[in-house]
């Protein structure tokens, strides 16, 4: 059983969340917004292989979390889909 902080899933019905069916969503949310203990619980529950595969293919991880995520799964930032999407679609220059 995985024990995650309910505040991470403020926008969904936490009590009825299917951790298997929505594994990619759960992994993305935990790594983007969770603390160290939430990340540990997620890695224990899903395993490092599943976590790595899903994280490399997510569309969004916040800019300040992508380097932490890359270090945890031991992959270069350039392999992340979300990083490459961000590089190919830059924002306007901030004045």
Domain spans, the chain = 6-88
Largest CA distance in the chain: 49
Answer yes or no: is pLDDT of 93 > 70: no
Residue with tokens 């992508």: 66
Answer yes or no: is pLDDT of 95 > 80: no
pLDDT bracket for residue 90 (50, 70, 90): confident
H helix intervals, the chain? 23-33, 36-46, 48-57, 66-73, 81-88
**CB neighbourhood size of 4 (10 A):** 20
pLDDT tens figures, 10-59: 999 999 999 999 999 999 999 999 999 999 999 999 999 999 999 999 99
pTM for this entry: 0.87
pLDDT the model gives residue 92 = 63
pLDDT tens figures, 59-88: 989 988 999 999 999 999 999 998 888 887
């Amino acid at each position: 059983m995985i024990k995650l902080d309910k505040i991470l899933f403020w926008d969904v019905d936490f009590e009825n969340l299917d951790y298997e069916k929505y594994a990619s969503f759960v992994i993305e949310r935990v790594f983007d917004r969770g603390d160290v203990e939430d990340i540990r619980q997620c890695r224990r529950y899903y395993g490092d292989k599943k976590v790595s595969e899903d994280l490399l293919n997510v569309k969004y991880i916040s800019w300040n979390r992508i380097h932490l995520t890359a270090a945890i799964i031991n992959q270069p930032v350039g392999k992340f889909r979300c990083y490459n999407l961000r590089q190919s679609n830059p924002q306007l220059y901030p004045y």
